[in-house]
């Protein structure tokens, strides 16, 4: 991944929790004594307010902070009105064939796709290797688990340690591996990027080892690997999928190893 812009953990009242997070992420610790627009030493701050951990851009005219919200806003709307198992992501994973699917989400990010799959009945194991994104995700999952309406969904989501590369065929295989690596953007695409995604592209850059994800995923997937790609992006690792589902702004490349209709043991 590319080198991130300057980031620090900030606190306004209690220092202890912020200090622990800063130590965990190996980031500087800052006491926030003024409005975010007046902070000059850091481009971004990781800040917890009212138990909500968020990433905030500093300086004048900055957009509002971004946190993981799984029980409200766009995610709630998608859960209620997004189309259920008729969504392309559901078809790509194979929910039109089976419902008891375990998904290994190797690039969990803000957890939105994982939440959609969990809401449709999948058991989802999430992995996120970027430290501050993982912290945001853990905070969002913990808060959502306390919301009655979505608590059962969140219980089907497990944020696991490590990354895809820490697993091998010696481990138990998973049904489906889901990949959504960060892709380099250009001037044409950046204008359409949501402000919050601009945050992460600015801080995280893109997954320079993205091509290496596919061979590893194909080893660990029992049935298929699903890769989410922007419109016009090349195939991951230059490998053509078994088939693809094209949407307005992106697509799902599906690499089938074995039919989901086959539920017997794999030798």
Report the chain's mean pLDDT, rounded to a whole number: 87
Is residue 165 pLDDT above 70, yes or no?
yes
Query: Tell me: the pLDDT tens digits for 133-150?
Result: 999 999 999 999 999 999
Torsion angle of the four alpha carbons 251, 56, 71, 184, in this order, in degrees rounded to the nearest 10: 10
Structure-token pair, residue 181? 């690596």
Provide CATH 3.40.50.150 ranges for the chain: 73-256
DSSP output for 123-170: EEEE---SHHHHHHHHHHHHHHTT-HHHHHHHTTEEE-SS-GGG--TT
Residue with token string 């194979």: 94
Q: How confident is the model at residue 265 (pLDDT cuts 50, 70, 90)?
A: low
Residue 64, classified by CB atoms within 10 Å of its CB into exposed (0-12), middle (13-18) or buried (19+), is exposed
Higher pLDDT, 105 or 263: 105
Q: How confident is the model at residue 185 (pLDDT cuts 50, 70, 90)?
A: low
Residue with token string 């946190």: 67
Is residue 220 pLDDT above 90, yes or no?
yes
The number of C-alpha atoms within 13 Å of 55 and in the hemisphere containing its C-beta is 27
pLDDT value for 167: 82
38 and 61 in contact (C-beta within 8 Å)?
no
CA distance linking residue 45 with residue 39, whole number of Å: 9
Give the range with max mean pLDDT: 90-104, 160-174, 192-206.
90-104
Is residue 186 pLDDT above 60, yes or no?
no
pLDDT value for 78: 83
pLDDT value for 74: 83
Query: Tell me: the pLDDT tens digits for 197-211?
Result: 677 777 777 667 889
Give the range with max mean pLDDT: 20-29, 52-61, 64-73.
20-29
Count Cβ neighbours within 10 Å for each residue of 210-230 and write b for 16 or more, e otherwise.
beebbebbebbbbbbbbbbbe
Supply φ then ψ for residue 165, to 5 degrees. -75, -10
Q: Domain spanning 73-256 has what CATH number? A: 3.40.50.150
Is residue 264 pLDDT above 80, yes or no?
no
Q: What is the mean pLDDT of residues 241-246?
A: 97
Q: Which of 41-50, 165-174, 182-191 has the lowest mean pLDDT?
A: 182-191
In this prediction the pTM is: 0.89
Q: How confident is the model at residue 82 (pLDDT cuts 50, 70, 90)?
A: confident
Percent pLDDT > 70 in the chain is: 88
Q: What is the mean pLDDT of residues 31-46?
A: 88
Of 117, 89, 101, which is closest to residue 222 (Cα–Cα)? 101
164 and 217 in contact (C-beta within 8 Å)?
yes
């Amino acid at each position: 991944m590319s080198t991130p812009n300057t980031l620090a953990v900030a606190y306004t009242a209690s220092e202890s929790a912020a200090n622990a997070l800063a130590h965990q992420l190996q980031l500087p610790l800052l006491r926030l004594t003024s409005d975010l627009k007046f902070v000059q030493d850091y481009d971004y701050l990781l800040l917890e307010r009212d138990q909500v951990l968020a990433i905030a851009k500093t300086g004048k005219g900055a957009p509002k902070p971004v946190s993981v919200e799984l029980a409200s806003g766009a995610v709630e709307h998608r859960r209620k009105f997004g189309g259920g198992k008729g969504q392309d992501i559901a078809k790509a994973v194979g929910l039109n064939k089976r419902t008891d699917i375990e998904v290994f989400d190797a690039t969990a990010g803000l957890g939105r796709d994982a939440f959609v799959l969990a809401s449709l009945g999948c058991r989802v194991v999430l992995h996120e290797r970027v430290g501050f994104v993982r912290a945001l995700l853990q905070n969002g999952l913990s808060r959502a688990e306390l919301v009655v309406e979505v608590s059962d969904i969140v219980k089907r989501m497990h944020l696991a340690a490590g990354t895809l590369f820490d697993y091998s065929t010696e481990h138990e295989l998973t049904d489906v591996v889901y990949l959504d690596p960060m892709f380099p953007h250009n001037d044409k695409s950046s204008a359409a990027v949501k402000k919050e995604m601009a945050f992460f592209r600015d801080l995280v850059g893109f997954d320079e080892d993205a091509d290496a994800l596919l061979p590893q995923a194909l080893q660990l997937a029992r049935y298929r690997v699903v890769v989410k790609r922007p419109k016009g992006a090349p195939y991951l690792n230059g490998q053509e999928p078994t088939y693809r589902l094209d949407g307005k702004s992106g697509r799902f490349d599906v690499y089938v190893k074995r039919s989901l209709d086959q539920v017997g043991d794999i030798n």
